[in-house]
C-alpha cells in the first residue's frame, strides 16, 4: 500500500499494534522450532533441570550418532524417498494427461467425466472396502499399495486443467491447420509450455507423500518397508526405542535419557531437509494455490 496521504493518528496506533501482533505470531512459530532444534543437541537432564543451557558440558551429539548407527531411521528415509519419487511420477503423469483432455473445448462427455471425478471427492465406500480392494489386488506389503491407490488426485487434475485452459487456443488451432494430430499438439505444443505446472504438482505430490503415514500404516506390516513417518511414529508417539539404538545400555534411566535425545534429533533429521529447501520453492507453492483458486 503506498502512502501518498498520511495516516491519521488512530490509524497509526492500529498499525503499530498490528506490527507488534505480527511480531508475536512470528515468535510463536519460531520459538518451538528453535527449541526442538537446540534440544536435539542438549543433554536431556540438563534440559529438564536448567532449561536451554549454553554451557558446553551440556551439549552432545549422542542423539544423532545413535540414530545414524541404528539404521532404522536411515532405512525409513530411503524408503520415503523411493515412495515419494514413485508416487510423484505416477500422480503427476496421470493428472497432466487427464487435465489436458478435460481442458479441450467441445470435448464430448466432459460433463460426465467431471461428475465422475468430483463425485469421489464427496462420497466414497470408506476405509474397509478400499482396504479390501488393495488386499485383493495383492498389493499389501508392497510399494504399490503406497503409490497406486491414491494416485488419482482430483484436485491435481483440476489444477492441471485450469492451467491448460490458460494456453491460448490460437496456438493449438494454428498447429491443427498445419495438419498436426491431437497427440502431436499435446506432445510438441502443450507439454513444453506446462513445465511450471508439472513442477508445482510434483512439489505438492512429493511433499504430500513424504509427510504421509496413514496408507503405510494400514497397508504395510513389514518393518523393512516402513517409510520415515512410520518410524517416527513409533519413536515419537508410541515411545518405542529401536533396539539397535540402545543395545549397549542396561540402566533404565539411561535408556530414558537417550530416548529423549533421540526424539528431538529424529524430529530434526526428518523435518530439516524440507524446511531448508522450501524457501527456494516458495513462489511455486504460492503459484499452485493461485492456479487452484481461479476455478
Partner 1 sequence: MAEIVKTKQAIQVSKPKKMHRHLEYIKKNYILYLLIAPAVILTIIFKYVPIYGALIAFKDYSPIKGIMGSEWVGFKHFTDFLTSPNFLQILVNTIKLSSFELLIGFPIPIILALMLNQLRKSGVKKNIQLVLYAPHFISVVVISGMVFLFLSPVGPINAVLGIFTDKPISFMSEPEYFRSIYIWSGVWQGAGWASIIYVAALANVDPQLHEAAKLDGASLLQRIWHIDLPTLKPVMAVLFILAAGGIMGIGFEKAYLLQTSMNIPSSEIIATHVYKRGLLAGDYSFATAVGLFNAVVNVILLVFVNQVVKKLNEGEGLI
In the region spanning residues 21 to 60, those forming contacts with partner 1, defined by CB under 8 A, are: 21-22, 25-26, 28-30, 32-33, 35-36, 48, 51
In this structure, the dihedral spanned by the alpha carbons of residues 25, 29, 34 and 36, taken in order and rounded to 10 degrees, is 140
284 binds partner 1 (CB under 8 A): no
Residues 180-209 that bind partner 1 (CB under 8 A): 181-183, 186, 207
Return d(Cα 133, Cα 139) in angstroms, integer.
9
Residue 120 makes CB contacts below 8 A (sequence gap 6+) with 154
267 binds partner 1 (CB under 8 A): yes
Residues 93-122 that bind partner 1 (CB under 8 A): 93-95, 97-98, 100-102, 104, 106-109, 113, 116-117, 120, 122
213 binds partner 1 (CB under 8 A): yes
221 binds partner 1 (CB under 8 A): no
Options 53-61, 166-174, 193-201, 267-275: segment touching partner 1 (CB under 8 A):
267-275
Using CB under 8 A, count the residues that bind partner 1.
96
Closest CB to partner 1 among 81 and 236? 236
149 binds partner 1 (CB under 8 A): yes
82 binds partner 1 (CB under 8 A): no
Return d(Cα 23, Cα 186) in angstroms, integer.
48
Min. distance of Cβ 279 from partner 1 in angstroms?
Answer: 6
Min. distance of Cβ 56 from partner 1 in angstroms?
Answer: 22
168 binds partner 1 (CB under 8 A): no
Min. distance of Cβ 1 from partner 1 in angstroms?
Answer: 6
171 binds partner 1 (CB under 8 A): no
Closest CB to partner 1 among 70 and 227? 227
Options 53-61, 64-72, 226-234, 245-253: segment touching partner 1 (CB under 8 A):
226-234
Q: Give the chain as a 3 state SS string.
A: CCCCCCCCHHHHHHHHHHHHHHHHHHHHHHHHHHHHHHHCCECHHHHHHHCCCCCHHHECCHHHHHHHHHCHHHHHHHHHHHHHHHHHHHHHHHHHHHHHHHHCCCCCCHHHHHHHHHHHHHCCCCHHHHHHHHHHCCCCCCCHHHHCCCCCCHHHHHHHHHHHHCCCHHHHHHHHHCCCCHHHHHHHHHHHHCHHHHHHHHHHHHHHHHHCCHHHHHHCCCHHHCCHHHHHHHHHCCCCCCHHHCCCCCCHHHHHHHHHHHHHHHHHHHHHHHHHHHHHHHHHHHHHHHHHHCC
Single out the residue of 123, 195, 248, 250 in contact with partner 1 (rule: CB under 8 A). Answer: 123
Closest CB to partner 1 among 125 and 196? 125
Closest CB to partner 1 among 188 and 247? 188
Return d(Cα 144, Cα 128) in angstroms, integer.
18
Residues 244-263 that bind partner 1 (CB under 8 A): 263
Closest CB to partner 1 among 48 and 61? 48
Amino acid at each position: 500500500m503506498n502512502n501518498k496521504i498520511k495516516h491519521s493518528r488512530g490509524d497509526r496506533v492500529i498499525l503499530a499494534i498490528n506490527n507488534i501482533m505480527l511480531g508475536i505470531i512470528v515468535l510463536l512459530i519460531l520459538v518451538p522450532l528453535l527449541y526442538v532444534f537446540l534440544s536435539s543437541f542438549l543433554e536431556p537432564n540438563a534440559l529438564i533441570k536448567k532449561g536451554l543451557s549454553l554451557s558446553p558440558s551440556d551439549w552432545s551429539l549422542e542423539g544423532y550418532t545413535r540414530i545414524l548407527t541404528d539404521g532404522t531411521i536411515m532405512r525409513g528415509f530411503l524408503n520415503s524417498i523411493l515412495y515419494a519419487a514413485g508416487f510423484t511420477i505416477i500422480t503427476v503423469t496421470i493428472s497432466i494427461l487427464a487435465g489436458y483432455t478435460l481442458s479441450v473445448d467441445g470435448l464430448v462427455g466432459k460433463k460426465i467425466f467431471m461428475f465422475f471425478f468430483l463425485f469421489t471427492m464427496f462420497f466414497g465406500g470408506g476405509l474397509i472396502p478400499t482396504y479390501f480392494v488393495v488386499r485383493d489386488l495383492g498389493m499389501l506389503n508392497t510399494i504399490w499399495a503406497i503409490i497406486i491407490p491414491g494416485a488419482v488426485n482430483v484436485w491435481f487434475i483440476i489444477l492441471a486443467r485450469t492451467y491448460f485452459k490458460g494456453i491460448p487456443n490460437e496456438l493449438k488451432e494454428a498447429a491443427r491447420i498445419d495438419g498436426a494430430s491431437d497427440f502431436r499438439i499435446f506432445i510438441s505444443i502443450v507439454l513444453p509450455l506446462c513445465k511450471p505446472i508439472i513442477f508445482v504438482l510434483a512439489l505438492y505430490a512429493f511433499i504430500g507423500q513424504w509427510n504421509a503415514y496413514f496408507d503405510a500404516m494400514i497397508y504395510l506390516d513389514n518393518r523393512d518397508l516402513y517409510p520415515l513417518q512410520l518410524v517416527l511414529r513409533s519413536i515419537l508417539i508410541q515411545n518405542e526405542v529401536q533396539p539397535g539404538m540402545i543395545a549397549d545400555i542396561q540402566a533404565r534411566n539411561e535408556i530414558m535419557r537417550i530416548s529423549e535425545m533421540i526424539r528431538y534429533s529424529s524430529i530434526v533429521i526428518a523435518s530439516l531437509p524440507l524446511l531448508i529447501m522450501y524457501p527456494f520453492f516458495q513462489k511455486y507453492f504460492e503459484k499452485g494455490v493461485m492456479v487452484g483458486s481461479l476455478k
